[in-house]
Amino acid sequence: PQKIYLRDYEAPKYTVESVALDIRLFEEDATVEGRLQISRDAAGDVLLHAEDMEIEALYIDDTRVDDTAYTHSEGRLMLHDAPATFALRTEVRICPQTNTMLEGLYKAGTGDETMFVTQCEPEGFRRITPYPDRPDVLSTFTTRLEADKRYPTLLANGNLIEAGEVADAPERHYAIWHDPTHKPSYLFACVVANLDVLSDHYTTSDGRKVLLEVYAKAADIDKCHVGMQALKDAMAWDEDNYGCIYDLDRYMIVAVSQFNMGAMENKGLNIFNTACVLSSPETTTDARSFNVKAVIAHEYFHNWTGNRITCRDWFQLCLKEGFTVFRDQSFSADQQSAAVQRIDDVATLRAYQFNEDAGPLAHPVRPDSFVEINNFYTTTVYEKGAEIVRMLANMLGKEKFRQGTDEYFRRYDGQAVTVEDFLSALSVADERVLSFIDWYRQPGTPVVSGHQNYDAETQTLEITLTQKTRHVAGFDAPKALPIPVATAVFDKESGQIVAEEMLLLDKETQTYRFDNITGAPVVSLLRDFSAPVQLNFDYQDADLAFLLTHETNGFNRWQVTQILVNRILLQNHEPAIYLEALAKTLPNLAKDDAMLAARLLDIPSAQELASAISTDYDPDAVKAKRDGLYQQVAVHLADMWQPLYESLPITEYDDSAEARGVRALRNVVLDMALTAGVDNAADWAVQQYESAACMTERSGALKALVNHQVAGYETQLKNFYERFKADDLVIDLWFSAQAASEQVRVADIEALIAHTDFDWNTPNRVRSVISAFTTQPAVLWTPEGLALYTQAVAKLDDSNPVIASRLVQVLARWYTLVPSKREVAHRYLQALKEKVQSKHVRESLDSVLGA
Ligand code: B3K
Ligand code: ZN
């Protein structure tokens, strides 16, 4: 397979004025007729993408052409010497029923729940009909769908313009949809299914009434209210914060149980993984429910940042994803404590993006080459991309950032553009924006280290900061980036802030001076995580403990706990200061902000710790240390757990931020109490399991019972399964609670795979077992663990290469292992390479093995 380079970009050589599709679905396959109106400057060859289809007939200007007029091979259809302007008609046959890749048009579900849906981003449309399938070709789409009446739901983008029975086929019906907006093919969607619908309305700020519809199978329709409300909230939020108003008369969301990703922003017809749209208190944890709202908002926000203004080419993916993630994070921050939102976003960034940036899969936020674009829907493109936009927004401030985004929407609406265009629009508010382009071009996480110097005599404080980014092979030597470091200076005695400043580190080393600092200071850096960097300041542990108590920035209170924990686990610092600081802080905080209190007890996951270890990584040793510290925390604070648990009683379900905080803290306390061996903690767990008012409580108790293998935990596991066996998403939870258990062994994973409910063709189920298992590196990196995991990859390589490739990426840092384990891992990866065929997996594996 060929590598594609950003520098080779060429603008399309023709325009597609309009597209009309006629998709007819049959028992065994489907036929697709496509009519494209093509115009260009001169006659000559025309290249279209056409994958996995049989071409039955081609017509140019209504005349059928024979097979000497075109060549169809390797996914490309070349029309030889076509006129400059012409009407192309293609008739092809495709097979959605056997499409296990879940890209293009595919069948999801079985029996009565069978449905047909599409996933076109990035290159699925070429598996439906021959087309110049690239994001810079924009056109208007009319879609006719025809199917058996067993599928009453026929949906496509835009407005419904006609529906009826098919002449001569009484068992069949059709619908015709028209989307007046110009859109790239990756935003095309259609659905053929038997679904119920929840309907509502939203009136835009310019007074138009928009029909809102969420489609799901009948049994799930009650779980669509949370998503519907989130959609309305997101629509209002985007009007208020960005002046972005919805443009069509109808907005549809469809829930599907088999989906590679979370959701897809198709114009006017979003398609969602059930996991990202369905929510009810009895079946959905708070974390998942919050995620549902965030994903609904994310896909909605794409209507402006992605759909109306789209990407010129796939290298620019971060243009829509980074900005849209930033927008959904800001929306979510307005729905809960902003500090907790920031903690959760940074925790994700640190756990996954830092890890990616530290290994052989490191790439710039805007990559400059790829073999398979599906491999680049990464946490670097999404989350680091969002961090760059955040830095820009912070630097400009609210008003100027809005001035810049207004200019972006004004200038580029209806176009396919680049990252440079984005920065150029924002630069009308402030030219410094332009210097951030290197953040998009350079891979690797900058490390910011530094120290302070306080001179009591002159009352001056100097802070010296240095940045360093590792040189990633294949890229230019790293440059110094503009790094905003939000800083506060505290007076040690009074605990008050005496100076606050946004320092801009844009050289390799810089010293900043603060005058009139009358008493000994403690500095707090990178407040709210003002830049996506690794901070390595030479704080005293005691200063960090001081900040845990005195920082007014909730995020930084968490950040100092993480620095302390990392020092204990990775640099052998004594835990005493950390334990004391927690003991002092928690009791009051638990009363004031239970959610934040729960977060302060975070200990980085085993995987996150691993990403900071560059050689001789021993997963067993890391696990032992991590478990040891967890145990120490639990024991040190042992007296606290009972009163705390009792102060957080189970009451009726309530979806307020406070109630969610209480539930989160209660689950943490329960696990701590079990770890500390507090009397009766096992009874609390069983009691909580049985009297739970919602899934957060029930699954929290279940996980604690499973993790600690509390006597009789099998009873609750069985009860949970029986109670929820009809609900796939809850059964996913049942699988993952076991697969991600602290006690899991490879044999347990094998048993879960052998379970009748396990299904290789349902990505959610694969993730609930195979991906859940990777949270236990000490088991994953054993010969048995690797054998199982690489077998799973080999199996999926053929049926679903997008998912298989994601699994490979998790193994990226195999080379950091201790020698004995490293050799074993290398052997399994090599053996896997012999087996796999897809370009997705091969590209990932080549990078991973190249390390
Ligand atoms: N844009 C889609 C992702 C499509 C993934 C293709 N493999 C969802 C999102 O980011 O909103
Ligand atoms: Zn997105």
Q: What is the pLDDT of residues 455-499, one digit of tens each?
A: 999 999 999 999 999 999 999 999 999 999 999 999 999 999 999
CB 496 within 8 A of CB 519: no
Q: Write the DSSP assignment of 208-272 as a string of letters.
A: -EEEEEEEE-GGGGGGGHHHHHHHHHHHHHHHHHH-----SSEEEEEEES--SSSEE--TTEEEE
pLDDT in tens, 183-228: 999 999 999 999 999 999 999 999 999 999 999 999 999 999 999 9
**pLDDT score at 840:** 98
Helix axes 695-707, 713-724, angle to 10 degrees: 140
Please, which residues have CB less than 5 A from ligand 2, an ion?
A: 321, 324
Predicted TM-score of the model (pTM): 0.98
Enclosing H/E stretch for 191: strand 190-193
pLDDT digits (tens, 9 = 90+) for 93-151: 999 999 999 999 999 999 999 999 999 999 999 999 999 999 999 999 999 999 999 99
pLDDT in tens, 264-285: 999 999 999 999 999 999 999 9
Domains in the chain, CATH or no CATH each: 1-194 (2.60.40.1730), 310-441 (1.10.390.10)
**Dist CA 28 CA 655 (whole Å):** 46
Distance CA 155, CA 256 (A): 14
Residue 674 has pLDDT above 80, yes or no: yes
**What percentage of the chain reaches a pLDDT higher than 70?**
100
**Band of the pLDDT at 1, cuts 50, 70, 90?**
confident
Per residue in 737-794, pLDDT (tens digit) is 999 999 999 999 999 999 999 999 999 999 999 999 999 999 999 999 999 999 999 9
| H/E element, 788 | helix 783-799
Query: In one letter, which amino acid is 457?
Result: E
Q: Whose CA is nearest to atom 3 of ligand 1?
A: 264
Mean pLDDT score of the chain: 97
Does the pLDDT at position 542 exceed 70? yes
Q: Determine the residue of 106, 256, 265 to mutate for testing ligand 1's pocket, defined as the one with the most ligand atoms within 8 A of the Cβ atom.
A: 265
**Tokens read off for 405:** 């985004």
Residue 851's pLDDT band, with cuts at 50, 70 and 90, is low
ipTM, two decimals, is: 0.98
Q: CA 228 to CA 15: how far, in whole Å?
A: 37
CA angle 604, 610, 614 (to 5 degrees): 140
pLDDT in tens, 659-669: 999 999 999 99
- Convert the pLDDT of each residue in 353-369 to its tens digit: 999 999 999 999 999 99
Specify the pLDDT at position 19.
98
Q: How confident is the model at residue 713 (pLDDT cuts 50, 70, 90)?
A: very high
User: Nearest residue CA, atom 2 of ligand 1?
Assistant: 264
Query: What is the predicted pLDDT for the residue at 529?
Result: 98
First to last CA, the chain: 20
Q: Among 183, 264, 291, 376, name the best residue to mutate to test ligand 1's pocket (greatest count of ligand atoms within 8 A of Cβ).
A: 264
Say how many Å lie between the CA of residue 309 and the centre of ligand 2: 13
Q: Confidence band (pLDDT; 50, 70, 90) for 649?
A: confident
**CA of residue 261 to ligand 2 center, whole Å:** 10
pLDDT (tens digit per residue) in 142-183? 999 999 999 999 999 999 999 999 999 999 999 999 999 999
- Tell me if 184 CB under 6 Å of ligand 1: no
- Ligand 1 contact via 298 beta carbon (within 6 Å): yes
Kindly tell me the burial class for residue 516, based on how many C-beta atoms sit within 10 Å of its own C-beta (0-12, 13-18, 19 or more). exposed
The protein residue whose alpha carbon is closest to atom 9 in ligand 1 is 264
Establish whether residue 122 lines the binding site of ligand 1, counting it when its CB lies within 6 angstroms of any ligand atom.
yes
Spacing, Cα 318 to ligand 2 middle (Å): 9
**Strand, coil or helix: what is 31?**
strand
Active site residues per annotation: 299
Residue range 487-526, pLDDT digits in tens: 999 999 999 999 999 999 999 999 999 999 999 999 999 9
Over residues 710-729, mean pLDDT:
97
Q: Are 849 and 811 in contact (CB under 8 A)?
A: no
Residue 441 Cα to ligand 1 middle (Å): 22
Answer for the pair 254, 299: CB distance below 8 angstroms, yes or no.
Answer: no
The H-assigned helical ranges of 243-384 are: 286-301, 317-333, 338-348, 354-357, 379
